[in-house]
Amino acid sequence: MTSSIARRPLTPRQVDLLAKLEALVLAEGFAHFTLDDLAARLRCSKSTLYALATSKEQLAVRVVGRYFKGAAERIEQRVAGVADVRDRIDTYLTGAAEELRRASAQFIADVSAYAPTRSTYERNARAAAERIRSFIQDGVQSGVFREVHATLVAEMAGLLIEGIQTGVLTRRAGVSDAEAFTALGELLLDGLRRERSRT
């Protein structure tokens, strides 16, 4: 956000309103709402919403950014302190699956259809790929994983994560998001496992 409104410290009421707005758009999407609709659903005035963003579109960008930022922070909290790199990858992907379960198909569709929110979403997917790359590199360096092209494997995992987040992969495979993330974890961990030397 470049608006000076967005950079002002939030009041407790605004923090609460953003949390309620996030829950609403996660459940129902945002494209079909007008500011009047949102004000009515949240039982506040339009001027209260204008204090958060100068348009419905900017409000959507702010709320989508808040969701992805919060999800990333919660996932990182889960990963922190997990020593085994295999458990770290599993914990990371499990956390991603749980965060994604909060988002409706309509929310994901609306995020993908609107360029500014899609940009936020794409940054999140790139950040996820980067985290997985760092886990893979740690595993290779510590001898837990076999030698692989960490960046390539991470980018491939990132594409699969994007397919799960957009619903394309899960629709085609006929599985839930959680099942897809579990399968991705198994694919990564089994594929990266170092073969034990035969004696």
Residue 199 has what pLDDT?
43
What one-character-per-residue DSSP string does 17-74 give? HHHHHHHHHHHH-STT--HHHHHHHHTS-HHHHHTT-SSHHHHHHHHHHHHHHHHHHH
Query: What's the total number of domains in the chain?
Result: 1
Per-residue pLDDT averaged across 84-92, rounded? 92
* 118: in domain: yes
Residue type, 54: T
Residue 196 has what pLDDT?
54
* 165: in domain: yes
pLDDT in tens, 40-56: 999 999 999 999 999 99
Per-residue pLDDT averaged across 161-184, rounded? 84
Residue 126 structural domain: 10-192
- % of residues, the chain, pLDDT over 70: 93
- Closest by CA to 46, choosing from 61, 55, 36, 54, is 36
At residue 74, does pLDDT exceed 90?
Answer: yes
Residue 112 has what pLDDT?
87
* 32: in domain: yes
* 3: in domain: no
Q: How far apart are CA 69 and CA 1, in angstroms?
A: 13
* 2: in domain: no
CATH label of the domain that carries residue 28: 1.10.357.10
Coil, strand or helix at 83: coil
The pLDDT-based confidence of 27 (bands split at 50, 70, 90) is very high
